[in-house]
Homo-oligomer: A and B are copies of this chain.
């Protein structure tokens, strides 16, 4: 099964993307399908010392989505974009996953539109790996859903648990909810309702965790809404930049500091590498019926190679089937609060009615659609 790679997306595309895909094929034996302008891809492959083969295939696409394009443009005005064609390969069963370092908004929009949601998932979410002293913690949602309901956060917990266990090899992932304190009384109405539900589920739930626990290793999977997740991640990035700036000025302040830097330079390079997001292999967008891995815009060949590897491992581990099974068990079990099950049944019925009325061209249909959206 191929991993479809958006050859035209990313700050250093197509060069870095093609080179990274070639490395994934050569080092891990993963079959990659490079999607984009055939001529350009062939030239880049040649430059990287590779060629078209059964393991490194090419699928032509005449358009490319730019970083500044709106998701709507990506969906409607560029039907033959490399990204859209890549998703269609997954939809058609020709590829197992899409890897893209391009426009994130377009990746999310196309994943949801072309692939659709997995059964039982209301909101797909982005998983980001955070460095901890002992390894990594997985935060979701890292930005796809600005406002979330408790049930969405519960679904994030289930998806994150499966990902950490199956793809990242964490034996029994500890799950936490990001909050402003550890006590049950802390948090918002949303986090408190999530907290109560997660206590009852068959997960290794460790309760509320705080911002300071994102890197402490206290939990393996940490769930929050996409707004808070984005703020936390960017706060970390910004503080890291700030400290690096401070360290630079320390190391250049006077001759003995410069000497110290010479002595320690290689260890510092190792430290930086251990924090390098390109080692981690991209951020999976979980919850759509088919896999999508978002690589950083500034992805190097190595980052692309690692993202392709994560895509392949996710597919091989069959994480989507495991997510569907876990969510199904929860929904059918007595573990989910009855009011939520009632709620889901109500919406399912409404959706069915809407489908019915839409098919029979009932004038009530748009009203029902409106109501459905408010869910």
Tell me what chain A mostly uses at the interface: helix, strand, loop, or mixed: helix
Interface mask (A205-237 → B, CB under 8 Å = 1, otherwise 0) = 000001111111000000010111011111111
Contact between chains at B267 and A263 (CB < 8 Å):
no
Complex copy number for this chain = 2
CB of A116 within 8 Å of the partner chain = no
Residues of B within 8 A of A234 (CB): 180, 210-212
User: How far is B271's CA from A242's CA once the two chains are assembled, in angstroms?
Assistant: 12
User: How far is B18's CA from A101's CA once the two chains are assembled, in angstroms?
Assistant: 58
Residues of B within 8 A of A241 (CB): 212, 215-216
- Tell which of A6-14, A20-28, A84-92, A252-260 binds the partner: A252-260
Residues of B within 8 A of A270 (CB): 250
Residues of B within 8 A of A251 (CB): 264
Interface mask (A154-169 → B, CB under 8 Å = 1, otherwise 0) = 0000000000000000
Minimum C-beta distance from A208 to chain B (A): 11
Contact between chains at A211 and B235 (CB < 8 Å):
yes
Known: A212-B235, A250-B264, A271-B250. A188 touches B240 (CB 8 A): no
CB of A120 within 8 Å of the partner chain = no
Contact between chains at A146 and B188 (CB < 8 Å):
yes
User: How far is B237's CA from A227's CA once the two chains are assembled, in angstroms?
Assistant: 20
Contact between chains at B260 and A264 (CB < 8 Å):
yes
Residues of B within 8 A of A247 (CB): 271
Residues of B within 8 A of A256 (CB): 263-264
CB of A171 within 8 Å of the partner chain = no
Residues of B within 8 A of A188 (CB): 146-147, 227
Known: A180-B226, A228-B227. A257 touches B250 (CB 8 A): no
Contact between chains at B260 and A180 (CB < 8 Å):
no
Contact between chains at A257 and B246 (CB < 8 Å):
no
Interface mask (A262-278 → B, CB under 8 Å = 1, otherwise 0) = 01100110110011000
Minimum C-beta distance from A372 to chain B (A): 20
Question: Considering only CB atoms and an 8 Å cut-off, how many residues of chain A contact the other chain?
Answer: 59
User: How far is B265's CA from A257's CA once the two chains are assembled, in angstroms?
Assistant: 9
Minimum C-beta distance from A224 to chain B (A): 8
Residues of B within 8 A of A274 (CB): 246
CB of A245 within 8 Å of the partner chain = yes
Contact between chains at B267 and A250 (CB < 8 Å):
yes
Contact between chains at A240 and B237 (CB < 8 Å):
no
Contact between chains at A180 and B227 (CB < 8 Å):
yes
CB of A132 within 8 Å of the partner chain = yes
Question: In the complex, which residue of chain B has the Cβ closest to the Cβ of A253?
Answer: B267
User: How far is B259's CA from A261's CA once the two chains are assembled, in angstroms?
Assistant: 11
User: How far is B111's CA from A215's CA once the two chains are assembled, in angstroms?
Assistant: 34
Question: In the complex, which residue of chain B has the Cβ closest to the Cβ of A245?
Answer: B133
Most buried by B among A214, A231, A246: A231
CB of A50 within 8 Å of the partner chain = no
CB of A317 within 8 Å of the partner chain = no
Residues of B within 8 A of A242 (CB): 131-133, 215-216
Residues of B within 8 A of A231 (CB): 178-180, 210-211, 224, 228, 231-232
Contact between chains at B238 and A240 (CB < 8 Å):
no
Residues of B within 8 A of A235 (CB): 211-212, 214, 232, 235-236, 239
Most buried by B among A189, A237, A247, A263: A263
> Which 5 interchain pairs have the tightest Cβ spacing?
A211-B234, A212-B238, A211-B235, A180-B230, A215-B242
What would be 15 A-B contacts, judged by CB atoms less than 8 Å apart?
A133-B245, A146-B187, A146-B188, A179-B227, A179-B231, A210-B238, A211-B233, A212-B237, A213-B238, A216-B238, A232-B232, A243-B243, A250-B264, A254-B267, A263-B263
